Structure 1
Amino acid sequence: MTIPLVVGVDGSEASLEAVDWAADEAVRHAVPLHLLHAAARDHEVSDVIGHALQRATERVPAVRLSSEVVHEDAASALIDKGRNAFALVVGSRGLGDLAGMLLGSVSLAVAARADCPVVVVRGAAEHRGAQFGSVVVGVEEGEGSGTAVQFAVREARARQCQLVAVHAWSAQYGALTSPQAPSWYALEAHRRPPAQVLDDALRDPAERYRGTSVSRRVVEGPARRALLEAASEADLLIVGARRRQGHLGLQLGLTNHAVLHHAPCPIAIVPQM
């Protein structure tokens, strides 16, 4: 049985935009789409789920749909469902979030704690479609990007678009995609030229998915700036996240927090396995 792509719905416009994106993505990868609604009251159920199901069907009639309503908090429900999901998709803000928030509390909690890739659908309509023909992935020094790069190459292949791999570094501090990393990261960065970091990260995934067009960008400066600039002309931004020993959940770090709050396009947080 194919595991589904799961999208959280709450009736907000942001969640309906997430449904649109997830329906396209499910067909793109030939996986079922499962709509999940965490309802505080029974009378919310039919309108929210019914509207979301209708929207997905009208957008992509071929999508295989299922739905579910649970009576628990949305973040916990999504994280639990993500243990057996192709990916989780959420809107950038929900109904309960305060006006002016850059990213909703549920979206942030799910991105930080889920076991599977999490896509936060954000940005203007042209970024939520496939108009730019580009997927961007951040590549950091060390072991933090392997799964993210594999996910990114697979996305680019499914979309038949270009993959842009970005590695940011500093002559003084080493790779800045992990700004709080111990000093050996900086030492290792000087042992391997920045271009070599990209070549090493892309070698195995590119071999597996031959025919994918890959553009490499080495940028001296903060990773958050390099990634946001690259994402300005992208359909999807992908970054990795990893667990620290002795800590529950993923450690998103300063760079991932910055791009989650400010990315101009949908952003995928991919746990490092």
Structure 2
Amino acid sequence: MNGPVVVGVDGSPSSLTAVETAAREARLRGVGLHVVHAFIWPNMHVSLTPSPMGPPDGGLRNLAERVLAEAVRHAREAAPDVAVTEDLVTGEPLTVLEAQSRTASLVVVGSRGMGGFIGLLVGSTAVHLAAHSRCPVLVVRGRPDPAGPVLLAVDGSPRAEAAVGFAFAEASLRGAELVALHAWSGWTGRGDDDPGHPQNLVDDAGRLGGTEERVLAEALAGWQAKYPDVTVRRDLVRESTRQALIEASEEAQLLVVGARGRGGFTGLLLGSVSQAVLHHAHCPVAVVRAGQD
């Protein structure tokens, strides 16, 4: 999709950082940037005009317009060559962002917010946006290493194919290495054999390791040929999915995950792993649902 990059703003420092990131993402893609502020107050039936006792530039509408103007200014400073448009939309923030995602190539949000986007990444709200956005969602957080790789969480499921493609495209756009990480754990018992027997542990670990290597190789097959300019490093680890991703994100400039999966990344956006990644990753996190380009 060649639609614009959309960024949701609320005036918080986090959202202004998201604006700068979104501007750079738009420049990489050669598309425009659309800055959006969700203006929920008209639906609350409160006065939007300045108070008779206050300054003439007071009032909720003037405040919203200043928030939007400041965000646009940040965007143009970050990427002067990118065409920037703006929109003050009446509505609840997530509903507004979902609607905007229908024609966007990427939606960018900050990891913390206030005002219209308060609590955007707290609890079910983050799951809601990632699950219903019509395009990938980039959550700006942490302190990314600009010289670091793009980190891809691989689980081998067909539903994660879109995330793999997105990660390759991002690595190509950024001129970065791609680290494909597949975390796995577990033991496969055989009949009545003792699972704790050292020989069984060795044999099963070796067999499982070979299986997981194939899962990783098959997930990347075809994409390396499509993006020959991207250097790929495969990282197969027998470790907690949550811990592996968080640790690896310390040296990455972007972490890409699929919204659904199996194996090591089952239910990534449904439980504790999602909370760990969205709240503790050391770099921005891109969430890509199945079927998204």
TM-score, length-scaled by structure 1:
0.83
Runs of 4+ in 1 over 4 A off after TM superposition: 96-99, 104-108, 189-192
Match status 1:155 vs 2:174: no
CA apart distance, 1:262: 1.1
Match in the other structure for 1:111: 130
State how far apart, in whole Å, the 2-side matches of 1:215 and 1:108 are.
Answer: 29
Aligned-residue RMSD, C-alpha: 2.6
Match in the other structure for 2:19: 19
**Do 2:14 and 2:111's aligned partners in 1 also have CA atoms closer than 8 Å?**
yes
CA apart distance, 1:109: 3.4
Match in the other structure for 1:229: 247
Amino acid at match of 2:260: R
TM-score, length-scaled by structure 2:
0.78
Match status 1:67 vs 2:86: yes
State how far apart, in whole Å, the 2-side matches of 1:146 and 1:77 are.
Answer: 27
Match in the other structure for 1:186: none
Post-superposition CA distance 1:37-77 (Å, at most 9, x none):
10124223320111011111111100111111111111110
**Do 1:15 and 1:90's aligned partners in 2 also have CA atoms closer than 8 Å?**
yes
State how far apart, in whole Å, the 1-side matches of 2:116 and 2:94 are.
Answer: 13
**Do 1:94 and 1:104's aligned partners in 2 also have CA atoms closer than 8 Å?**
no
CA apart distance, 1:132: 2.9
Task: State the aligned residue count.
Answer: 248
Amino acid at match of 2:23: A
Post-superposition CA distance 1:179-203 (Å, at most 9, x none):
xxxxxxxxxx959611111111111
CA apart distance, 1:142: 2.4
Distance of aligned partners of 1:214 and 1:236 in 2 relative to their CA distance in 1, 3 Å threshold: same
**Do 2:130 and 2:259's aligned partners in 1 also have CA atoms closer than 8 Å?**
no
Larger radius of gyration: 2
Match status 1:144 vs 2:162: no
Distance of aligned partners of 1:97 and 1:71 in 2 relative to their CA distance in 1, 3 Å threshold: closer
CA apart distance, 1:103: 3.6
CA apart distance, 1:120: 0.5
Distance of aligned partners of 1:171 and 1:143 in 2 relative to their CA distance in 1, 3 Å threshold: same
State how far apart, in whole Å, the 1-side matches of 2:78 and 2:12 are.
Answer: 17
Distance of aligned partners of 1:97 and 1:194 in 2 relative to their CA distance in 1, 3 Å threshold: farther
Distance of aligned partners of 1:122 and 1:191 in 2 relative to their CA distance in 1, 3 Å threshold: closer
SS at match of 2:213: helix
CA apart distance, 1:84: 1.6
**Do 2:10 and 2:117's aligned partners in 1 also have CA atoms closer than 8 Å?**
no
**Do 1:92 and 1:107's aligned partners in 2 also have CA atoms closer than 8 Å?**
no
State how far apart, in whole Å, the 2-side matches of 1:18 and 1:252 are.
Answer: 21
Match in the other structure for 1:178: none
Match status 1:253 vs 2:290: no
Which consecutive unaligned segments of at least 5 residues does structure 2 have? 42-59, 189-206, 262-266
Match status 1:263 vs 2:281: yes
Distance of aligned partners of 1:263 and 1:191 in 2 relative to their CA distance in 1, 3 Å threshold: closer
Quick one: percent identity of the two aligned structures?
Answer: 40
Amino acid at match of 1:262: H
SS at match of 2:258: strand
CA apart distance, 1:205: 1.3
Post-superposition CA distance 1:125-181 (Å, at most 9, x none):
xx1xx52331001001322321101000000000001000000111327xxxxxxxx
State how far apart, in whole Å, the 2-side matches of 1:87 and 1:256 are.
Answer: 20
Within 5 Å, which residues of 2 pair with 1:1-273?
Answer: 2-39=2-39, 40=41, 41-96=60-115, 103-104=121-122, 107-124=126-143, 127=144, 131-172=146-187, 190=208, 193-242=211-260, 252-254=269-271, 255-273=273-291
Match in the other structure for 1:180: none
